[in-house]
Amino acid sequence: MDFELSKEQQDISKAAKEFAEGEFRDIARDCDLNEEYPESLIKKGGELGFIGVFIDEAYGGAGLGFLEHALIMEEFWKVDPGLGQQLCSVTFGSEVFLLFGSENQKKKYLPPLARGKAIMGFAITEPDAGSDTASASTSAVEKGGEYVINGNKVMIGNGSVSDFMLVFCLTDPEEKSRSDRHSILVVETDRPGYDADKMHGKMGIRASDTANIFFTDLKVPKENLVGERRKGFYQLMQFFDRSRAYVAAHGVGLAQGALDLAIQHVRTREQFGQKIASFQATQFKIAEMATKVELARTLTHKACSLLDHGRGNSNTTAMAKLFSGRTAVEVVDEALQLHGGYGYFNDQDVERFYRAAKVLEIYEGAKEIEKMIIGRNVLGRF
């Protein structure tokens, strides 16, 4: 068992760190305040090969693995969660194309994503269907050679900036099993009937785009069906087994970034005539924080490595996401505490990290869902 990264993986991490430090650092606070990101950032990320590295070379990607993707996202989130999220989300849902898409769909949609020339998203959540995805009611009715989509999706990443969107739709409401009622369709956002309303006032990751989406008699051809009809729920679960692994990497990155900020602060800040770092209480806090980050990183790397070797499973992925999200929240809380009153103001980066952390316990499966998955896998049938 080897816990060391390969030379190539180390080089990828180093390059991602240099990119994030050079491109994020000076603009992060303004992007957070203004709830925006520069479009040039996506183009640069694509040109340098940081977007969709897990996409096969045949479709314009680097043909690497989820571990390499996680390493990049960790470095991005370490510098700024909001911009890190936006760079990560460019290809959000592309795994569904890789797993279930037709050859034509892969050739059409994946290359522009990998080059940073297109943005996609995955519309899943609805006003009355969050964790209970099987209750999604956005409908896609087959009429002739088309599907007609009607409904509303909420809190969708890239909803107002994407070029195309995967949509989790109710296609077969008459099916007895709730798991057999849905399908996944790809929707080009320039089609009549697509309307997006950008959301404002997010607590954290404010630089990234989030929108409510409305479908009104939107028509797509039958070939826009991804994979098999009525298999959407099963496809979605397999997607989550992948997306949750690199969301875990987001947690690792945020926690490491917060730890780095805390270390920098306690080494320079003086109280009672001494550096704060010299106090045993401070050293104990830093020790606990560093240990949690390293544990989260190890579990996350294991989850991604298993996926890359074809042995990924929902249990390890759920554990990685649950623990990394909790670690991010706990570590950044201690980091802000070590900053004292200074950390409470937005001229300190730790304040932005603090606001961003909580989403890691909510999206891509709330922490309660992860616990349910782990509990069922550990207990088995009874």
| Ordered per-residue pLDDT tens for the chain, 382 residues | 678 999 999 999 999 999 999 999 999 999 999 999 999 999 999 999 999 999 999 999 999 999 999 999 999 999 999 999 999 999 999 999 999 999 999 999 999 999 999 999 999 999 999 999 999 999 999 999 999 999 999 999 999 999 999 999 999 999 999 999 999 999 999 999 999 999 999 999 999 999 999 999 999 999 999 999 999 999 999 999 999 998 999 999 999 999 999 999 999 999 999 999 999 999 999 999 999 999 999 999 999 999 999 999 999 999 999 999 999 999 999 999 999 999 999 999 999 999 999 999 999 999 999 999 999 999 987 7
Give the residue among 106, 167, 103, 94 at the shortest CA–CA distance from 137. 167
Q: Which amino acid is at 337?
A: Q
Which of 230, 259, 274 is the last residue in one of the domains?
Answer: 230
Which of 171, 200, 230 is the last residue in one of the domains?
Answer: 230
Angle between helices 314-339 and 367-379 (to 10 degrees): 140
| Together in a domain, 45 and 138 | no
What is the domain count for the chain? 3
171 within domain boundaries: yes
272 within domain boundaries: yes
| Together in a domain, 216 and 136 | yes
What pLDDT, on a 0 to 100 scale, did the predictor assign at position 189? 98
26 within domain boundaries: yes
Give the active site residue among 35, 364, 368, 370: 364
17 within domain boundaries: yes
* CA distance linking residue 197 with residue 316, whole number of Å: 36
Q: Which two tokens stand for residue 60?
A: 């314009």
CATH code, domain carrying 334: 1.20.140.10
Contact in structure between 354 and 333 (CB atoms under 8 Å): yes
| Together in a domain, 239 and 344 | yes
| Together in a domain, 299 and 333 | yes
1 within domain boundaries: no
Identify whether 36 is a catalytic site residue. Answer: no
15 within domain boundaries: yes
What pLDDT, on a 0 to 100 scale, did the predictor assign at position 3? 86
89 within domain boundaries: yes
| Together in a domain, 372 and 252 | yes
Contact in structure between 233 and 175 (CB atoms under 8 Å): no
CATH code, domain carrying 153: 2.40.110.10
| Together in a domain, 151 and 189 | yes
| Together in a domain, 225 and 252 | no
* CA distance linking residue 352 with residue 26, whole number of Å: 14
2 within domain boundaries: no
For residue 284, give its domain range: 234-379
| Together in a domain, 225 and 238 | no
CATH code, domain carrying 81: 1.10.540.10
* CA distance linking residue 249 with residue 271, whole number of Å: 35
| Together in a domain, 226 and 240 | no
Give the residue among 118, 116, 120, 119 at the shortest CA–CA distance from 43. 116
Q: What is the pTM of this model?
A: 0.96
Query: Is the four-CA dihedral 320, 69, 94, 80 of positive or negative sign?
Result: positive
Q: Which two tokens stand for residue 117?
A: 């020339």
| Together in a domain, 45 and 135 | no
| Together in a domain, 137 and 263 | no
| Together in a domain, 218 and 245 | no
Contact in structure between 253 and 88 (CB atoms under 8 Å): no
Which of 67, 98, 114 is the last residue in one of the domains?
Answer: 114
Give the residue among 237, 242, 239, 251 at the shortest CA–CA distance from 372. 237
Q: Which amino acid is at 375?
A: G
